[in-house]
Amino acid sequence: MSTQKILYQPNPEFAAKAAIKNMDMYWKLQNKAIEDYEGFWKEFADEKIDWLAPYEKVLDESNAPFYEWFTNGKLNVSNQCIDRHLADKAHKTAILFEGDRGDVERISYAQLSLHVNRMANLLKHEFNVQKGDRVVLYMPMIPESAYAMLACARIGAIHSIVFGGFSSEALKDRIEDAEAKIVITADGAYRKGKPYMLKQVVDEALTQGGKSVEAVLVVKRNNEPIEWVEGRDHNYNELITSQHAECPFELMDSEDPLFLLYTSGSTGKPKGVQHGSAGYILWAQMTMEWVFDVKCDDVFWCTADIGWITGHTYIVYGPLAAGTTTLMFEGVPTYPDAGRAWKMVQDHKITQFYTAPTAIRVLHKMGEDEPKKYDLSSLKVLGTVGEPIDPPAWKWYYETVGNSKCAIVDTYWQTETGGHMISPLPGATPIKAGCATLALPGIMAEVLNIDGETKEVGEGGLLCITKPWPAMIRNIWGDPDRYASAYFGDVAKDGQPVYFTGDGARVDEDGYITIVGRVDDVINVSGHRMGTAEIEAAVAKDDSVTEVAVVARPHEIKGESIFIYIVLKDGHINADIKNHINALLSSEIGNIAKADHIIEVPGLPKTRSGKIMRRILRSIAKGEEITQDISTLEDPSIVEQIITKAREA
């Protein structure tokens, strides 16, 4: 029997105390959602959200696909995450910070309130940041990043975090697209025992463009020397102390944008995924309670970076809305040794640990028995996200890290979905390794064909969400047409456009959904999502390159790696082409876009109408036999030449 078929039953002791204790409870909730969709969501919105003015309608579909949830309701997300907890949790740790060098700081809800209020006043009064203004954060994993997010939420500014691994060029593009008024950054931070720098990337970005930016607020973390632009740059550490400790929050509409987060699509430039306020925070909190089953005294650790959606929803917004303690870690889980993560679990008595399959594979490879050296008995739930998890990694995570007693929640979701969509519930769902199992209650996930028909059991198809949900993407910043076409342009069910995820999936005989991976031109390297078109556009900037095609190749640790085919212009010979192209990718996008394989080929396989046959290139990169008919190619002999080159690579 394959691991895939084994059902791992929930731990009965855990299930007895879980929010969702068994499959009957799951089906009761899901059936309620099926029978009375708006009633289902109303119940939770009324129970969970601290409404400052009531909403008038649960779901407004009149302007589909621009759905509106909890119309005209008023709330403030920073109130939901901080103020409302102060009555009974003021002294409870909200953020537990561990620095790269092992320094630990505990920030209580009362202290978090003070920091956020001061930062909100700083933004509002010193920099005139108003409701609706965009604030770009280019920040390390330090508590000030969370303060900045929540301060923006407090005054109604829209934050847009750019992952600290992106290059100045990528940062500039995102600043310009959002027309940001201010950038918040840090001098740098620490990684693997050494300081690293961020501020200079902001300086470069603002030299290249980003004219909308009026000020740069700099948090001093490592105090390394940095350039300073007088009049533009401001020292957070100096300014913050004189700020007033109270900043009344703005009354925000349910649909007011909370943040933008740029992500890659299959075509063109990155998209500014726009999330709203009420629906997003509701689902962030509900999924913390259902999927991670957080309880009052839990210490939750999500290892993502705040620059990705996982960091937004499951380091900051979800845990704080749920009133739990969230661990924020500056460093990497393998430094100073392969036991760092497990030592932290032991030291902080972590109850839920949430990471990516790539990290699990690295930790496994670096120290198979390392978890056994530590007391990991505090762990209750283990989570994975971002890419399919392979059975060996799953097994190690379950047996060695979780001591065969913790549920593994394989959470499937996306930047656009705001929170989890398909995942086991740790007290209820019998689990199959490497399978995301069932859609969460309230989420209508279906595997369809392009005509919206349901696929047979076991057949691969397109993973669609057939009803709008509260935490869904609201728009692509500044590009509503692209929003409608990118997500609702491909599949219609019963004549109605439905949200297509871009992923392929299949449903098994138990109704369980297994994610197969992207079916569009998006690749996933170590859980980082990148568009092949974006990478191709960067490579094409090299003067010696005439044609380029980018595909994914399976990778033992990273899940997928980048494989690039280039055709050089006549007469160009470049012995160092790999380093050259990788340097270009690093400066245009960031180090995450560097390719493992770059091969120079005499031409690309094209049809007579000039279309590149990417399927052939994918097969070659994977080392597969070419089974498709190549006789219709403009030059069939090119395939053999490319195969030879690929073998040499």
Place of tokens 């399919």: 388
Contact window for ligand PRX (CB under 6 A) among 17-25, 437-445, 498-506, 590-598:
498-506
DSSP calls for 109-165: HHHHHHHHHHHHHIIIIIH---TT-EEEEE--SSHHHHHHHHHHHHHTPEEEE--TT
Q: Quick one: three-class SS letters along 108-121? A: EHHHHHHHHHHHHH
CA gap 602, 15 in Å, rounded: 60
Contact window for ligand PRX (CB under 6 A) among 18-26, 114-122, 214-222, 405-413:
405-413
Nearer Cβ to ligand PRX (19/422): 422
Nearer Cβ to ligand PRX (249/354): 354
* Residue 495 CB partners (closer than 8 Å, separation 6+): none
Under the criterion CB under 6 A, does residue 502 sit at the interface with ligand PRX? yes
**What is the nearest approach in angstroms of ligand PRX to the Cβ of residue 413?**
4
Cis peptide before 602 (omega within 30 of 0): no
Under the criterion CB under 6 A, does residue 199 sit at the interface with ligand PRX? no
Q: Which residue is nearest to ligand PRX (CB)?
A: 415
Nearer Cβ to ligand PRX (75/316): 316
Element (H, E) at 538: helix 532-539
**E-strand stretches of 458-511:** 461-465, 475-476, 491-493, 496-507
Nearer Cβ to ligand PRX (40/317): 317
Nearer Cβ to ligand PRX (121/355): 355
DSSP calls for 32-68: HHHH-HHHHHHHHHHHH---SB--SEEEE-TTTTS-E
Name the strands in the sheet holding 352-355, side by side, starting at the edge strand that comes first in the sequence: 104-108, 93-98, 325-329, 299-302, 352-355, 381-385, 407-411
Contact window for ligand PRX (CB under 6 A) among 34-42, 58-66, 406-414, 573-581:
406-414
Element (H, E) at 71: strand 68-71
**What is the nearest approach in angstroms of ligand PRX to the Cβ of residue 360?**
12
Identify the CA nearest to 621 among candidates 567, 551, 559, 570.
Answer: 551
CA gap 429, 425 in Å, rounded: 5
Under the criterion CB under 6 A, does residue 534 sit at the interface with ligand PRX? no
Nearer Cβ to ligand PRX (358/400): 358
Under the criterion CB under 6 A, does residue 503 sit at the interface with ligand PRX? yes
93 close to 328: Cβ distance less than 8 angstroms: no
Under the criterion CB under 6 A, does residue 243 sit at the interface with ligand PRX? no
Nearer Cβ to ligand PRX (247/436): 436
| b/e sequence 501-519, b meaning 16+ C-beta within 10 Å | bbbbbbbeeeebbbbebbb
Helices within 245-390 (DSSP H only): 278-290, 309-311, 318-321, 340-348, 357-366
**What is the nearest approach in angstroms of ligand PRX to the Cβ of residue 578?**
26
Nearer Cβ to ligand PRX (76/501): 501
Element (H, E) at 447: strand 445-448
The amino acid that residue 494 corresponds to is D
Nearer Cβ to ligand PRX (3/22): 3
Dihedral class, residue 554 (left if φ above 0, else alpha if ψ from -120 to 50, else beta): beta
Nearer Cβ to ligand PRX (123/260): 260
Under the criterion CB under 6 A, does residue 501 sit at the interface with ligand PRX? yes
3-state DSSP assignment of residue 531: strand
Under the criterion CB under 6 A, does residue 386 sit at the interface with ligand PRX? yes
* Residue 55 CB partners (closer than 8 Å, separation 6+): 45, 70, 71, 72, 73, 254, 278
CA gap 265, 368 in Å, rounded: 36
Residue of 318, 331, 388, 452 that binds ligand PRX (CB under 6 A):
388
Binding-site size for ligand PRX (CB under 6 A) equals 22
Nearer Cβ to ligand PRX (160/501): 501
**What is the nearest approach in angstroms of ligand PRX to the Cβ of residue 517?**
6
Residue of 397, 412, 477, 500 that binds ligand PRX (CB under 6 A):
412
**What is the nearest approach in angstroms of ligand PRX to the Cβ of residue 592?**
11
Nearer Cβ to ligand PRX (160/411): 411
Under the criterion CB under 6 A, does residue 518 sit at the interface with ligand PRX? yes
Nearer Cβ to ligand PRX (222/437): 437
**What is the nearest approach in angstroms of ligand PRX to the Cβ of residue 74?**
29
Under the criterion CB under 6 A, does residue 233 sit at the interface with ligand PRX? no
Under the criterion CB under 6 A, does residue 413 sit at the interface with ligand PRX? yes
**What is the nearest approach in angstroms of ligand PRX to the Cβ of residue 590?**
14
Contact window for ligand PRX (CB under 6 A) among 31-39, 75-83, 154-162, 517-525:
517-525
**What is the nearest approach in angstroms of ligand PRX to the Cβ of residue 419?**
9
DSSP one-letter code for 20:
S
DSSP one-letter code for 471:
T
Under the criterion CB under 6 A, does residue 310 sit at the interface with ligand PRX? yes
Residues 64-123 that bind ligand PRX (CB under 6 A): none
Residues 414-443 that bind ligand PRX (CB under 6 A): 414-415, 436
Nearer Cβ to ligand PRX (362/515): 515
Q: How buried is 88 (Cβ within 10 angstroms: 0-12 exposed, 13-18 middle, 19+ buried)?
A: exposed
Residue of 80, 400, 411, 619 that binds ligand PRX (CB under 6 A):
411
Under the criterion CB under 6 A, does residue 515 sit at the interface with ligand PRX? yes
**What is the nearest approach in angstroms of ligand PRX to the Cβ of residue 257?**
18
Q: How far is CA 188 from CA 184, 261, 316, 341, in A?
A: 12, 21, 20, 22
* Residue 552 CB partners (closer than 8 Å, separation 6+): 523, 524, 525, 532, 560, 561, 562, 563, 618, 621
Contact window for ligand PRX (CB under 6 A) among 76-84, 214-222, 410-418, 438-446:
410-418
Nearer Cβ to ligand PRX (123/291): 291
Contact window for ligand PRX (CB under 6 A) among 123-131, 404-412, 444-452, 468-476:
404-412
The site for ligand PRX (CB under 6 A) is made up of 263, 309-310, 385-388, 410-415, 436, 501-503, 515, 517-518, 524, 529
